Amino acid sequence: QMQLVESGGGLVQPGGSLRLSCAASGFTFSNYWMYWVRQAPGKGLEWVSGISKGGGGRYYVNSVKGRFTISRDNAKNTLYLLMNSLKPEDTARYYCARPQRDGLGQEYDYWGQGTQVTVSS
């Protein structure tokens, strides 16, 4: 069965860093684009970042450009999100998700359990 398991979240001070990981199983990971999405308290899901199959194409929502880096290790079936210079508005539960089609702006119908990121002093 397909599974996505996020880890690496936690409580950090503004300006701090975290690296999130997503372990994928149950499908051929290297054949798919992958996304990171997040949900802040009281808000809906927001797309944060996406990466192409081989990792050469990396895309971000404007609010995290220059601070976050998405990457993947297809040999390990793992997706990563390095988050630097964290801000309180980054506080959210972060999920990895597999889009239904290649590219950006695609629907996704499966994501993991998420990992909580809280940025507070």
Average pLDDT value for residue range 100-105 = 94
Q: How confident is the model at residue 100 (pLDDT cuts 50, 70, 90)?
A: very high
Q: Given CA atoms 23, 31, 26, 60 in this order, what sign does their dihedral have?
A: positive
Average pLDDT value for residue range 60-76 = 98
Q: How confident is the model at residue 63 (pLDDT cuts 50, 70, 90)?
A: very high
Q: Note the pLDDT of residue 89.
A: 97
Residue with tokens 């979240």: 9
Percent of the chain scored above 70 by pLDDT? 100
Q: Note the pLDDT of residue 111.
A: 85
Q: Give the Cα separation of 83 and 63 in Å (integer).
A: 12
Per-residue pLDDT for 59 more than 90? yes
**CB-facing half-sphere around the CA of 114: CA atoms within 13 A:** 13
pLDDT: is 109 or 39 the higher one? 39
Q: Give the Cα separation of 16 and 42 in Å (integer).
A: 24
